[in-house]
């Protein structure tokens, strides 16, 4: 597993911005981060109603348009839901699946997460499968068990060749939106378990090529240390992605950390 993976930073805007501020933020992010797009995958996940306008802004700048969720059925009587074809129509490239807020606030279970993931892969979309333990689970010593279980359930029936489309985001629930970031060592320890599980489930090459993002209170001040960990291939950023200078600093930290890893490769 001596390879260096291309870093991947996502800005999950969640249920924030309005039409005007979404366009403005996308413009600012393109201006600030466009120059890094050759060295880092950068995705923006605006709210559904703004996908089209944000997509126009990202257009030819090499940034990826992302969606925060998708439904697994192709069409029909599913009021309020959004299909993979609708996302493809808008030039969406990547979709978040099983975000912590979908699981814990909206109530999605592992079966629905897996169905959505399979549908998105089938449609040719990139997917970011989000997993993570709650504080209660961490304190009970269940961190590894919970993450491996969400990982296995999410990847159920995913073919080896589809794993190229998959990124994992490890987002400990207690670190999301709390300002309480996981230590780089704690995050890396979970990333190592995730990678080992993928090696067991598929093979070493698949695990070695898999990108695992960390998410949960990533900001301009802590990104460098997090991304310095060989196991951490970038971040999924909430709050700090709404501030373009801060988001730029995070992307820059990912690019610089990857250059260092390339100079001094480790495991």
Show which residues are catalytic: 99, 171
DSSP letter string over 166-231? EEEEE--GGGTTSS-PPPHHHHHHHHHHHHHHHHHHS-HHHHHH-EEEEESS--TTTHHHHHHSTT
Measured distance CA(265)–CA(24) in Å, rounded = 39
- Residues forming the site for ligand 13P (CB under 6 A): 12, 99-100, 171, 176-177, 215-218, 236-240
- Minimum Å gap between C-beta 2 and ligand 13P is 29
Short-list 229, 189, 231, CA closest to 210 = 231
CB-CB contact of 136 with 97 (8 Å): no
- Minimum Å gap between C-beta 69 and ligand 13P is 12
- Minimum Å gap between C-beta 201 and ligand 13P is 24
Name the residue nearer to ligand 13P (CB basis): 215 or 234: 215
Name the residue nearer to ligand 13P (CB basis): 46 or 215: 215
Name the residue nearer to ligand 13P (CB basis): 43 or 202: 43
- Minimum Å gap between C-beta 62 and ligand 13P is 22
Name the residue nearer to ligand 13P (CB basis): 15 or 159: 15
Q: 3-state DSSP: the chain helix, strand, coil percent, rounded to 5?
A: 50, 15, 35
Biggest CA–CA distance in the chain, Å, is 54
Name the residue nearer to ligand 13P (CB basis): 125 or 242: 242
| Residue nearest ligand 13P, Cβ-based | 238
Residue 214 tokens, joined: 């960390």
Residue located via tokens 């990108």: 211
- Minimum Å gap between C-beta 248 and ligand 13P is 15
CB-CB contact of 45 with 96 (8 Å): yes
CB-CB contact of 158 with 117 (8 Å): yes
């Amino acid at each position: 597993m001596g390879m260096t993976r291309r870093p991947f930073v996502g800005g999950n805007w969640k249920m924030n911005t309005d039409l005007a501020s979404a366009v403005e933020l996308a413009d600012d992010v393109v201006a600030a981060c466009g120059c890094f797009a050759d060295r880092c995958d950068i995705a923006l996940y605006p709210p559904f109603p703004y996908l089209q306008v944000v997509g126009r802004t990202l257009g030819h700048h090499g940034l990826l348009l992302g969606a925060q969720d998708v439904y697994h059925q192709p069409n029909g009587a599913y009021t309020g839901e959004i299909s993979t074809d609708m996302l493809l129509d808008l030039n969406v490239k990547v979709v978040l699946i099983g975000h912590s807020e979908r699981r814990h606030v909206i109530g999605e279970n592992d079966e629905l997460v897996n169905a959505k993931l399979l549908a998105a892969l089938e449609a040719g979309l990139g997917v970011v499968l989000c997993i993570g333990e709650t504080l209660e689970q961490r304190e009970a010593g269940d961190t590894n068990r919970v993450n491996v279980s969400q990982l296995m359930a999410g990847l159920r029936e995913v073919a080896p060749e589809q794993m190229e489309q998959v990124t994992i985001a490890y987002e400990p629930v207690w670190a999301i939106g709390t300002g309480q970031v996981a230590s780089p060592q704690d995050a890396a320890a979970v990333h190592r378990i995730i990678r080992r599980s993928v090696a067991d489930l598929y093979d070493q090459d698949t695990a070695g090529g898999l990108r695992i993002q960390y998410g949960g209170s990533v900001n301009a001040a802590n990104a460098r240390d997090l991304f310095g960990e060989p196991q951490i291939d970038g971040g999924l950023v909430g709050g700090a992605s709404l501030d373009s200078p801060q988001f730029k600093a995070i992307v820059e930290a990912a690019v610089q950390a990857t250059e260092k890893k390339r100079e001094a490769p480790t495991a």
